[in-house]
Structures are given as C-alpha cells and as structure tokens.
C-alpha cells in the first residue's frame, strides 16, 4: 500500500481507513462500519512500545465470507519518533516474512509504516477467537508448555539457519550490531535504562547486587553480540520473554510482537525465553534438558549438523546479559505493573548469577 499517516488513537479507525488497510490484500473489500470494543495505549498495563485496539467490522456484500470481522490493530503509542525503528521492523516482518511461515504467529490482514510521521498500523487476527491464552510470569509454566514454545523457535531458526537468503532477498534484515534497531539499542536505550536504574530503587539495588553498573552491562551486551555475530546466524524473534508468547488449546505455542526481529544467534531467543518462562527452581532443574530438547528439534527440522551441546550451553549462559540489561532494566513499571516487572528481574538476575555470566562476558574482552 502507498505511504499514509496512520492514526495513533482508536478515534482514527474509520471505515475508510480500515478499507484502505484491507484493500492491499483484499481488493474491492469495503468496511461499512467499525466499532471499537477495547483500546489501550501507553501508560496502561500490558502496553509497552505500541498501542492496540480490538475492532469489529461490518463489510459490504462484496467481502469474502471467510474474512474475519474482528481484529486486533496495533498503532504507534502516540506521536513518537523514538520507536520508529521498531515499528518499521515489525511491519517489514509481517509484510515480507510472515506470509511464508508455517509456525504459530498472528496472521496479518494489512498494515504499513509511514517514515515521516513515524506512524504505523498492523491489522492482525484476534487470537482469542482461536482460544489463545496469553501467559505471564505471575502464572506457572509447565515443562511441556516450555517445550511447545521451543518447538516454535526451532521451526523458526531451522527455516533460516545460515541461510544464503541473508545475502539475497533477506539482505534487508537487520542484525544485533547494525541497523535501526541496533542503533536504538546502543544509542537511546542506554539513556532510558540508566534513568530506570537511577530512579527505581529496586532496579538500582539489583544492579548493585550483581556488583556491576549500567555502562558495564551495556559493554557486556555489545561484546556478546559482536562475538555471537561470528557464530551461525538465523532469523530471530528477538524479544522472546514469556509475555510475548501465546498458547492454543491444542497445546501449540506461538510468538507475538516481532518488533525486535533480527538476524542473529539462536541462543538469544532460547535463553531469554527459558529464563523468563520458568520459575527459578524449575529453570535450575530443567534448563539443560530443555536446551537439549531444542537442539534435537533443530536437527529434526533439517539442520544436519546442529551445534554441539556444550558450545551452545556456553552461549546460552552468555546471552543472559541481554535479558538483564535490555530485556527488563529498560522496561518501566507502568508497562506491565510491579509484580511482572519484579519477577522478570528476579528470574533474569538469578540466572545471571547462577551461570556466572559476568565471568563469561569478561572472557570475551580478554580473548
């Protein structure tokens, strides 16, 4: 679809606007009416980098009978140029990669990004219509549920493992060390993270408990990402904390919120998911087995020579520094509430200590 300024509140979700979004994929379809049943923007819990609304649409008679009438639409969180790289990245994923995937991720029915206004929209299926549930760290995750999401990650990673497409039709996919997302993470994000450390007592003391600082953690993240960029690369979801997953009644699991999608090392996704999904006791008891399960699933998906377990285990432990620094120190309490925020920090920093991640990261600087 041609460039257009997208609304940043539900008030702009008019029939004409929704028609324009739909017609890129469904020519001739017209929305006659649009009603908003729910809308959330920044400052309301469970809303982080984008707002969203649930809408019901009534079409004219030319619409396909199987076209959904209820959608979730993602919008920019107000007039906000800060998140532009994330918005552009997620729209690119849904328009250029999602159509070829067979793994569980929301289906997209239209969308776009407008660079001058930094506005975007994604018209996505309402997963609740398929009975999806949306877990968070206040609820227990079973080992079988963790395996289901690792199935999804193994399918994603295997499909793009060391793919020659990264120098061809997917050369546009960014990495952890270059591109708009990397620029945001290395430029603006550290300012926000340091503000969180300086103003939230519990974050400041968690960093103190790790005997480190914001700048030292940032340097560690950058060292790990430079190192892991030399290892086998694949397509990553990029932000696999438990709250960006969903579960279906048949036991399958899927991935939401693809704003941080990049090319990178698989342990970035696997480590962040396992560490946020499981209680501390369950992670300690089962994470090695779960990592072995992931590698088996990778082989089963067609990777003839998956990485050795011990090498992968080391990278799994190194990748924890990203979860501690970028993953949740950067997240204001207002986004998800106190309990979710604190529990994610607790799980991540405990794993960081359990695995002596600081020592592993320092070893990269001394190599």
Q: Which CATH number fits domain 132-366: 3.20.20.70, 3.90.1200.10, 1.20.1250.20, 3.10.310.40?
A: 3.90.1200.10
pLDDT the model gives residue 366:
76
Name all contacts of 298-304 with Cβ < 8 Å and 24+ positions apart: 298/154, 298/157, 298/158, 298/161, 298/266, 300/154, 301/154, 301/155, 301/158, 301/159, 302/158, 303/158, 303/161
Residue pointed to by tokens 């919008």? 75
pLDDT the model gives residue 43:
54
Token pair belonging to 125? 């299926």
Residue pointed to by tokens 């007592």? 201
pLDDT the model gives residue 251:
97
Mean pLDDT value across the chain: 94
pLDDT the model gives residue 44:
54
Chain segment 296-312, per-residue pLDDT in tens: 999 999 998 899 999 99
Closest of 73, 66, 81 to residue 20, by C-alpha: 73
Side-chain-side CA neighbours of 128 within 13 Å: the count stands at 6
Query: Quick one: 10-129 is in which CATH superfamily?
Result: Phosphorylase Kinase; domain 1 (3.30.200.20)
User: Block means of pLDDT (10 residues each) for the chain, length 367 residues?
Assistant: 80 95 93 90 60 93 89 84 91 97 97 93 97 97 98 98 98 97 93 95 96 96 97 98 97 97 98 98 98 97 94 98 95 88 97 98 85
Domain ranges of the chain: 10-129, 132-366
Chain segment 343-362, per-residue pLDDT in tens: 999 999 999 999 999 999 99
CA distance 24 to 207: 48
Report if pTM > 0.85: yes
Side-chain-side CA neighbours of 43 within 13 Å: the count stands at 3
């Amino acid at each position: 679809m041609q460039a257009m300024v997208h609304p940043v509140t539900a008030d702009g979700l008019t029939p004409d606007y929704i028609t324009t979004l739909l017609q890129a994929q469904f020519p001739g379809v017209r929305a006659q009416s649009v009603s908003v049943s729910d809308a959330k923007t920044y400052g309301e819990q469970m809303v982080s980098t984008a707002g969203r609304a649930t809408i019901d649409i009534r079409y004219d008679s030319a619409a396909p009978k199987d076209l959904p009438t209820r959608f979730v639409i993602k919008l920019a969180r107000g007039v906000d140029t800060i998140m532009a790289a994330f918005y552009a990245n997620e729209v690119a994923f849904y328009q250029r990669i999602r159509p070829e995937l067979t793994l569980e991720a929301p289906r997209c029915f239209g969308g776009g990004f407008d660079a001058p206004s930094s506005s975007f929209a994604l018209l996505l299926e309402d997963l609740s219509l398929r009975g999806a549930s949306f877990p968070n760290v206040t609820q227990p995750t079973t080992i079988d549920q963790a395996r289901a999401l690792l199935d999804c990650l193994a399918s994603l990673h295997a499909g793009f493992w060391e793919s020659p497409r990264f120098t061809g039709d997917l050369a546009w996919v960014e990495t952890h060390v270059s591109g708009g997302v990397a620029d945001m993470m290395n430029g603006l994000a550290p300012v926000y993270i340091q503000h969180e450390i300086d103003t939230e007592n519990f974050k400041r003391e968690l960093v103190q408990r790790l005997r480190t600082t914001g700048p030292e953690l940032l340097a560690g993240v950058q060292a790990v990402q430079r190192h892991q960029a030399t290892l086998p690369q694949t397509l990553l979801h990029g932000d696999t904390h438990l709250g960006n997953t969903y579960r279906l009644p048949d036991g399958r699991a899927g991935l939401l919120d693809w704003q941080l999608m990049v090319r990178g090392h698989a342990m970035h996704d696997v480590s962040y998911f396992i560490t946020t999904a499981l209680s501390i006791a369950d992670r300690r008891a089962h994470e090695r087995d779960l990592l072995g399960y992931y590698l088996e699933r990778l082989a089963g998906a067609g990777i003839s020579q998956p990485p050795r377990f011990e090498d992968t285990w080391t990278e799994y432990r190194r990748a924890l520094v990203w979860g501690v620094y970028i993953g949740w120190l950067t997240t204001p309490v207002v986004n998800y509430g106190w309990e979710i925020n604190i529990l994610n920090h607790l799980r991540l920093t405990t794993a960081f200590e359990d695995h002596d991640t600081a020592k592993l990261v320092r070893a990269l600087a001394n190599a």
